[in-house]
Amino acid sequence: MNILTLILSYLTGSISFALVIGKIFYKKDIRNFGSGNLGATNAYRVLGVKAGLIVAVADILKGTFACLLPLILGSSVHPILCGLLAILGHIFSVFARFKGGKAVATATGVFLFFTPLGVFVAFVIFVLTLLLTKYVSLSSMLASVSLIGYSLLFEDKVIIALSLLISVSIIILHRQNIKRLLNGTESKIVDRQ
């Protein structure tokens, strides 16, 4: 049962809603448009508001769902391991030739399971940054950093380590965005295709 829980966690994370929704409902492979990222922001950019919101919610839910798998399946795997595997699945999806997204929404779903208040704080930082700058990437990175800060103040060592690992990974995954932010070519939330 433990192996099944681990495999299902990875497979759950691997479901790329941005790819599935784009291909089925819009006949578009969003890997070929916008930033090429298989995430909610690029789904919004390429397919529109409705698709972006659906992808965001679905990607969040799959992160939380993976953490609930041990409970659902009655296995003894730690939910953290399931959450990490779901995030890995999202970034390196078996259904998308081991490419994927930057894991912001999926990680949000995972952290909702462990620290809902931390997610709330990160969400406030995300929204404020987005309102001020219109850059989703910058908002995602600052929200990630704020989650580390929140964890350091209010969470135990395990959650601190988890937030460090995931948030630093998210920032590394945004390295192209960082380059674009620095040279002024990063697209803003208002720039749609």
Residues that bind ligand G3P (CB under 6 A): 35, 37, 39, 41-42, 102, 104, 136-137, 140, 177
**In the complex, minimum distance from the CB of residue 20 to ligand G3P, in angstroms, rounded to a whole number:** 17
Measured CA to CA in angstroms, residue 103 lies from 25, 76, 171 at distances of 23, 25, 10
- Nearer Cβ to ligand G3P (63/70): 63
Closer by beta carbon to ligand G3P, 14 or else 37: 37
Burial class (CB in 10 A: 0-12, 13-18, 19+), 1: exposed
Looking at beta carbons only, is 13 or 39 nearer to ligand G3P? 39
From CA 16, how far away is CA 13, in angstroms rounded? 8
Distance in Å, CB of 137 to ligand G3P, minimum: 4
Q: Say whether 110 sits in a helix, a strand or coil.
A: helix
Residue 193 C-beta: closest distance to ligand G3P, Å:
11
Distance CA 1, CA 185 (A): 48
Least distance from C-beta 123 to ligand G3P, angstroms? Answer: 13
